[in-house]
Structure 1
């Protein structure tokens, strides 16, 4: 079935559809109907404008290409799976939640509370602005993603990031088993309470990073304007730049060219700081 060049604003306009293509349509109008594609399967939406709430709930098999979801299109994708989103603007709050098997590419995201409790998410060549981005998400793989916002990737489990730029406060808090490569992490209080975080060839910028961590590993990383780093963390690190200050690493070894200030005023802190060497961990 194919729907093309139409405007629809009624409640549940395409409810329960199967094997449907929608092209060059507008979901907008005075009826202000919600849930356009609820309980659908195998839906292909192209070149379409979505200005109404809750369009894709409980769907299985979605392909969304070159579409626009406006700020009025809130909570756009919930409880859905097997999704491909390409060259699309997602501008409504809570755009992706409790979804599984999602591929996002060449997209523009401006959506607070995006990706909560989502699973098996691939994101590539995209830009995102959000708060509480990807909270409690699992099994993520991001490549060339630029993110700006606050409180990102909290309570996340099992993720891989490559060639990303994250300008974000309180990122990766309580996260588990995360590997970040070739990326820039800028913000305050990076990755407190994380477990199994690996940062490889990354640039870390901002105050009080990487405190209260367990099984933290840094491989050939730069640290810029980073003070009071590693407090009460179990860490093994090779750092390639001078660090402003390191405070009370709990255990492990930190190799660093130099540290302006080392604070060891906690008798339980037994971490070793070796200056002037660049060995491998």
Structure 2
């Protein structure tokens, strides 16, 4: 591989179309303010590098990024690319990842609104993220030890697995399909409305009006804290380990719970059963 070290680039399409290239200790910054540094490249490694210009990695194939810094100015950093590994990297530009395929992200710091839209086959581990509309319409996700804070996360996504995660997020998982969350904490309002095939196992769920208008919803040994007006119009089977604030008009299924402060069943079309177990 060709190696480029200790250089500064600021021109338009600085390394356009390059193949089999390693870039180390470089800076993409300067008065020319050029865009699209690595556009349409293949087999690229970027290490210990500062990126302060727009759209650096578009239409790339086989990309490794390690210990890099993408600033707020590095907007829309990775689009339409595939076979990507990103480790120990700061991703602080808006829309940092979109319509990519086969992505591994490990030990990264993400502060990027609209991150991950329509991306497929993404693994994320040991990472912290702050975003809005995070991972919208993404498919085939596997997250382990991820901390997320923001709004409107995981909407319209399909086929996802989450384990040992902490999510502080409003309106998470709306319209999502076939999602399994294990051993995690989910805090926020209006969790997972209109979802299909959502499974929550050994999770802590915190916040008002969760899990309404769901189909195929399943809770396994979950704790629900400050969760009032739960399960409205949902088809649900649930085992809950603590007292719940209130349950309202579940459409179908069985909810097993040790206690409920208030049960609201004032809709004759809602046939869900609530079993109070001692």
Instruction: Return the TM-score normalized by structure 1.
Output: 0.98
Between the two proteins, the alignment pairs up a number of residues equal to 277
CA deviations over 1:232-251 (Å, ceiling 9, x no partner)? 00000000010000000000
CA distance in 1, matches of 2:70, 2:104: 17
CA distance in 1, matches of 2:267, 2:157: 30
C-alpha deviation, 1:78, in angstroms: 0.0
CA distance in 2, matches of 1:60, 1:199: 35
3-state secondary structure, aligned to 2:162: strand
Report the equivalent of 1:159: 160
Report the equivalent of 2:119: 118
Report the equivalent of 1:225: 226
C-alpha deviation, 1:276, in angstroms: 2.2
CA distance in 2, matches of 1:55, 1:144: 28
CA distance in 1, matches of 2:58, 2:130: 23
CA deviations over 1:249-274 (Å, ceiling 9, x no partner)? 00000000000000001110000000
Verify: 1:139 aligned to 2:150, yes or no: no
Report the equivalent of 1:101: 102
Report the equivalent of 2:25: 24
User: 4+ residue runs of structure 1 moved beyond 2 angstroms?
Assistant: none
Alignment of structure 1 residues 148-187 onto 2, 5 Å = 148-187=149-188
RMSD across aligned positions (CA) = 0.4
Alignment of structure 1 residues 1-281 onto 2, 5 Å = 1-277=2-278
CA distance in 1, matches of 2:201, 2:35: 45
CA distance in 1, matches of 2:242, 2:188: 18
Ranges in structure 2 where 5+ consecutive residues have no aligned partner? none
C-alpha deviation, 1:49, in angstroms: 0.2
3-state secondary structure, aligned to 1:71: coil
